[in-house]
Amino acid sequence: MFTQQQLKEHVAQAAVEHILPLLAADSVLGVGTGSTVDLFIDALAPHRERFRAACSSSERSTQRLQQHGFQVLDLNTVETMPVYVDGADEIDGRLNMLKGGGGALTREKIVASVAERFVCIADESKLVDVLGKFPLPVEVIPMAAASVSRRLAALGGKPARREGFVTDNGGWILDVSGLAITAPAELESTINDIPGVVTCGLFALSGADAALLSTQQGIRTLARQA
């Protein structure tokens, strides 16, 4: 039996093999945030000469990329990217995702929006039938935390501030438990429309295009259905 760490290492290597054919010498690669992405960056390091640069969704990933010798560009200088690679806290069979356990959900959503293709990498424990067992992160403007919490409670959730945590944008995170998210795109739109919300951790309006899932039997690939 492989450990969860080994499963993450396997999918990180599989992701490198998956994305390299999509990159050209002048390409910019979008890179997400999290423990599986850390391993992806490490596995990608021997191939850093295959493409021009990376664009990162967090200070954490930027530092790791730079430590491996990658050039990291500001997103404002990048018009398009062939692919964005990131993990997920939960993903369903339709490739809707719940993300933000690391607190980088806003920048992840922004960088992903510039990419032509989103590839999610995860171990098999992240595949669920219904999103919401993992608390849904919502980034908020600090002055709106109380009012947003009341609105989230009215939607059936139990919001709690992630104490001592501030995002790279200076926002706070409300982690919302108690949700069974059967209509993720609709809920994403509803939460994002609450005044004071920067964004929520649902990636359903624009979900993954493909997912690589590491299982005990090998790598399982899921593709978004048209």
> Measuring CA to CA, which residue among 4, 5, 7, 42 is closest to residue 218?
7
171 in Cβ contact with 142 (< 8 Å): yes
Which residue shows structure tokens 């490490």?
Answer: 42
> Measuring CA to CA, which residue among 105, 169, 186 is closest to residue 138?
105
Q: How many angstroms separate the CA atoms of 145 and 153, rounded?
A: 12
Please name the residues in contact with 42: beta carbons below 8 A apart, sequence gap of 6 or more.
Answer: 12, 64, 68
Q: How many angstroms separate the CA atoms of 202 and 188, rounded?
A: 6
Pseudo-torsion of CA 212, 213, 215, 218, nearest 10°?
A: -10
Share of the chain above pLDDT 70, in %: 100
Model confidence over 7-28: pLDDT tens digits?
999 999 999 999 999 999 999 9
65 in Cβ contact with 56 (< 8 Å): yes
Tell me what pLDDT residue 226 has: 62
Model confidence over 177-216: pLDDT tens digits?
999 999 999 999 999 999 999 999 999 999 999 999 999 9
For the sheet containing 136-140, what is the strand order? 158-161, 172-177, 136-140, 197-200
- Give the CATH superfamily of 136-201: ACT domain (3.30.70.260)
Pseudo-torsion of CA 186, 189, 193, 197, nearest 10°?
A: 120
Inter-CA distances, 209 with 65, 77, 112, Å:
24, 24, 11
Is the domain spanning 4-128+205-223 CATH 3.40.50.1360? The answer is yes
- Its pTM stands at 0.96
Tell me what pLDDT residue 91 has: 98
Residues serving a catalytic function are 108
Helices (H), the chain: 4-19, 35-44, 59-67, 105-114, 145-154, 184-192
> Measuring CA to CA, which residue among 86, 96, 81 is closest to residue 207?
96
180 in Cβ contact with 130 (< 8 Å): yes
- Binding residue ranges for substrate: 33-36, 86-89, 99-102, 126
Q: Which amino acid is at 15?
A: A
Q: Mean pLDDT of all residues in the chain?
A: 97
Model confidence over 132-171: pLDDT tens digits?
999 999 999 999 999 999 999 999 999 999 999 999 999 9
DSSP string, 26-38: T-EEEE--SHHHH
Model confidence over 70-113: pLDDT tens digits?
999 999 999 999 999 999 999 999 999 999 999 999 999 999 99
Share of the chain above pLDDT 90, in %: 99
Tell me what pLDDT residue 224 has: 84
User: Residue 29 is encoded by which pair of tokens?
Assistant: 């690669």
List, in sequence order, every residue forming a beta bridge with 28; answer none if it has no partner.
53
